Structure 1
Amino acid sequence: MTMRYEVISPEKVECIQDMCNELMRFQQSKATITPERFDGMSFETRMIPSMESAVENYLMIVRDKENIVGYVYCNISEKEVYDNDFATFFDMASVSKEHVGCLSQFYIKEGYRGAGIGSVLFEKAMAWLTSFDTIEDIFIYVSNGNDDALQFYQNKGFQVTHQILDGFITVLRNVPNLSFHEENRK
């Protein structure tokens, strides 16, 4: 299995539309708390608005031959983006800078999990996020029931800070002075 990793421009985001919708179905299948919240979540309602509200976007796909088998999407956004009608994702006063980084979507097709692809995508995403001098805080939001993802991010040094929406989402935050943070800062 030879994987090919590619950074995709925002103009080509449609190439992951099916995979993003697969991620929403996967999250709903894992959810134990209000899985019906996922009924209205899709590429059009999650990915597109996120990209449009971000200051910077990063999308990397991984291919096995010509088939896309995984992707990671990160963004840099004004912190106020995370205080909206849906939820307040973190204590605004706890973030001293104007912008935050977010690992927003991360998905690998079944059959490709456990082969190290996730670690490569994660490291590339963190290298991009930590390359911005204006970013100190990086957040990851994990849907309830996705214990494998939660453990993955904790193993990578992120800490659970709290839950929102009555446990529907677990919020993880980077720990200051993590090695990937300092090594990748420009």
Structure 2
Amino acid sequence: MELHYEVIPDHEIDVCRELCNELMKYQKAKAVIRPELFDSMNFDTRLVPSVHKAMHNYIVVVKDRNELVGYMYANISPKEVYRNDFATFFDMNSVQREAVGCLSQFYIKDEYRQFGVGSKLFSMCMNWLSSFDEVDDYFIFVSNGNDDALSFYQRKGFTISHEILDGFITVLHSKKVSENEHRTNF
């Protein structure tokens, strides 16, 4: 195994198409609440619009030699992006700043889990998100049935805020850690 991590520019997101579509299938297979909602979710309906609406994007792909085996997508977006026809993802009044950070998509092929890939991607994401002074709130939205992901993010310091769409999505939240604090669970 020869893993390497590569930050890619927005205009190269098409390399994530297959993995993003695998993520949507994975989430549907795990879902116990309204799995049919995933039928219309794919690279073109989830990743592309998110990249276009964001103020800043961070896309990291993981390769084993030349094969893509995982990716992570995070963004800094106006908080209003998270109020749309699908759902309102958090109480807009609870977020004081105009922008939020979000770990939006995170997927690693099964055979590459348990090798620290997730922790490495998560650490890269949080380091990137924390570099923005104008953002104090970070969110992760976990689809129902994905208990492994939920536990992973909780071990990394995120707490459950609430559920939306009758439990279809669990919202996890974390506040920016000040320079005087030290986050040891990355």
| CA drift at 1:172 | 0.1
Partner of 1:56: 56
Partner of 1:16: 16
Which secondary structure state, in structure 1, belongs to the residue aligned with residue 68 of structure 2?
Answer: strand
4+ runs of 1 displaced by more than 6 Å? none
Letter in 2 for 1:60: V
Q: Percent identity?
A: 57
RMSD: 1.6
Report the Cα distance in structure 1 between the residues aligned to 2:177 and 2:25, rounded to whole angstroms: 35
Partner of 2:128: 128
Provide TM-score, normalisation by structure 1. 0.95
- Once the two structures are superposed, the pairs formed by residues 47-126 of structure 1 within 5 Å of their partners are 47-126=47-126
Unaligned runs of 5+ in 2: none
Letter in 2 for 1:92: M
- Deviations along 1:70-118, one digit per CA (max 9) or x if unpaired, are 0100000000000111000000000000100000000000100011000
Residue 171 of structure 2 corresponds to residue 171 of structure 1:
yes
Report the Cα distance in structure 1 between the residues aligned to 2:101 and 2:158, rounded to whole angstroms: 13
Provide TM-score, normalisation by structure 2. 0.95
Q: Is the 8 A contact 1:141 1:170 kept in 2?
A: yes
Unaligned runs of 5+ in 1: none
Q: Is the 8 A contact 2:138 2:176 kept in 1?
A: no
| CA drift at 1:176 | 5.1
- Deviations along 1:135-154, one digit per CA (max 9) or x if unpaired, are 10000000000000000000
| CA drift at 1:177 | 3.2
Letter in 1 for 2:119: S
Residues 182 and 52 of structure 1: CA distance in aligned 2, closer, same or farther (over 3 Å) = farther
Report the Cα distance in structure 2 between the residues aligned to 1:182 and 1:113, rounded to whole angstroms: 27
Partner of 1:6: 6
Residues 33 and 157 of structure 1: CA distance in aligned 2, closer, same or farther (over 3 Å) = same
- Deviations along 1:16-56, one digit per CA (max 9) or x if unpaired, are 10000000000000000000000000000000000010000
Report the Cα distance in structure 2 between the residues aligned to 1:149 and 1:178, rounded to whole angstroms: 26
| CA drift at 1:2 | 2.0
- Deviations along 1:104-133, one digit per CA (max 9) or x if unpaired, are 000000100011000000000000001000
Q: Give the aligned length.
A: 183
Partner of 1:25: 25
